[in-house]
Structure 1
Amino acid sequence: MKKGYTIRIKYKIIFSFIIIISIFAIFIYEFDKTVMPTVIAVSEAEMRAKAIEIMNKTIIDEFMKQFNYNDVIKIDKDKNGNIVLLKADTLRLNKIACDVAIKAQKALSDLGNVGIQLPIGYITRNNVLSYFGPSIKIKMQPIGFIETRYSSEFESAGINQTRHKIYINMKTKIRIIIPLKSSDVEVSNEIPIAETIIVGKIPKTAIQMDLNDAGFRLKNFSD
């Protein structure tokens, strides 16, 4: 009698264990299928916004310190005031682009090491539940290259007046790291760094703006 009772207890324990494992497996499956895509999407959006904020701040800080249009863009005129040569100092532009890439990489790495905390309620995008529930820690790691490239455009601004705009484009890849998952995201942003009105007739042959060759590409330390 005692032996049969012991066997029944063992069967109950085994059966209970199987039920618990099955429920846990179903929960993990449903969580991965329904919740994780939302978690990844929100994490990507948050980290992308943080990365762009860092990139913009780095660009603005460095160009405010180092960039002066009259030093970078050389304008030569003839005795009649007509422009005979318009040329960029690509060496100076490359130096600024290098400093931007290095400092942006460090700032992105620092943010990635610290990470950000997102409450589960925030992930639901429900205004009432935004700050409730346990938090998920999201980390980020720069991967690949940080690349900075220049571009410029000229447009008429009146008689013998030309508006010249210079842009810098910064591009990199980051890896979003959350518990059980990771996702690679490309982040790029273009912002204007200079806009000026050039007075004088500019023939096309006078423009030697090789900005497509100016820029810098920095390999991430983590690769």
Structure 2
Amino acid sequence: MKTKNRCKKFKRTLFTSLMIFDVLIVVVYSNASRFLLEKGKSELTAYVSNAVYSSLAETGDEQTFAALCSVQTDDNGKIVLIKTDGYSVNVCGYKLAAKTYENLSDYAARGVEIPVGAFTGLTVFSDMGRSVKVPVMNVVGVKCRFLSRLKEAGINLVRHELYLVVETRIKLITRFKSESVSENVEILLFDNLIAAKVPENYIGDMIFGSATAGLAS
């Protein structure tokens, strides 16, 4: 009888211990996953900026981007037309989107540097130990557009700016959690000061040209 009771008690203790151990494992992995996601988010802006600037350097130069959009004035210095080169815009936009997607995917494949202590799931140890690289990013898609902007810069002076607007969709993935995030970058391509007047019927920024790579929409 005593042997049976001891056996039952041992089984209950073992079962309870296993349950506690399982709960601890889940908590540790959950905390570690949260740390990985936060680390991935903190690195995201730098990754996207580096990928975009690299693609710009590989795609064209100042003259290439200056030819995309121009301003025409009449004899009185009034702006009558904002002209875009449709073919060049489409080609340039596609190259930038494809190259940015490629560069960003390369950065993501290298992984994010995580201290070994982070895998304990305990905040107190999260910055301890040597760093290892863990891939947590999956690039879903990249979308590139151009933005033309006119601003008054003084008497009969207009500042014409052209920006590249890049929208990225990225999925951060760990064993227990995943999160879809977006990171947008706006980069000045040129800033020209011209002798002209902003039209009275000017409606604001003009967005043109849209190219995607991956699954961006």
Q: TM-score scaled to structure 1, two decimals?
A: 0.74
| CA distance 1:201–1:51, change in 2 (3 Å) | closer
Matched positions, count: 214
2:53 is aligned, of 53, 56, 59, to 56
| Aligned residue in 2 for 1:161 | 157
Aligned counterpart, 1:141:
138
Unaligned runs of 5+ in 2: none
Query: How far did 1:142 drift?
Result: 1.3
Alpha-carbon RMSD:
3.8
Distance 1:93 1:104 in 2: 16
Displacement of 1:11 = 5.4
Would the alpha carbon gap of residues 180 and 80 (structure 1) be closer, same or farther in structure 2, given more than 3 Å must change?
closer
2:209 to 195, 210, 214: 214
2:127 is paired with a residue whose SS is: coil
CA contact 1:154–1:163 (8 Å) conserved in 2: yes
Secondary structure of 2:161's partner? strand
Residue 21 of structure 1 aligns to a residue in which SS?
helix
Q: CA deviation at 1:78?
A: 4.9
Given the alignment, which residue of 23, 40, 45 partners 1:43?
A: 40
Residue type of the alignment partner of 1:47: L
2:144·2:166 contact (CA, 8 Å) conserved in 1? yes
Percent of aligned positions with the same letter in both sequences?
Answer: 22
Per-residue deviation, 1:58: 2.1
Q: How does 1:78-89 map to 2 (within 5 A)?
A: 78=74, 84-89=80-85
* 3-state SS, counterpart of residue 130 of structure 1: coil
SS of residue in 1 equivalent to 2:91: helix
Counterpart AA for 1:161: L
Instruction: Kindly state the Cα deviation for residue 203 of structure 1 after the two structures are TM-superposed.
Output: 4.0
Q: Provide closer, same or farther for how the CA distance between residues 25 and 212 of structure 1 changes in structure 2, counting only shifts above 3 A.
A: same
Relative to structure 1, the CA distance from residue 136 to residue 22 in structure 2 (aligned partners, 3 Å threshold; closer, same or farther) is farther
Compute the TM-score of the two structures, normalised by the length of structure 2.
Answer: 0.75
Letter of the 1:184 partner, please give it: S
Deviation larger for 52-61 or 192-201: 52-61
Deviation, 1:107, is: 1.6
**Structure 1 portions without partners, runs of 5+:** none
Deviation at residue 102 of structure 1 after TM alignment: 0.3
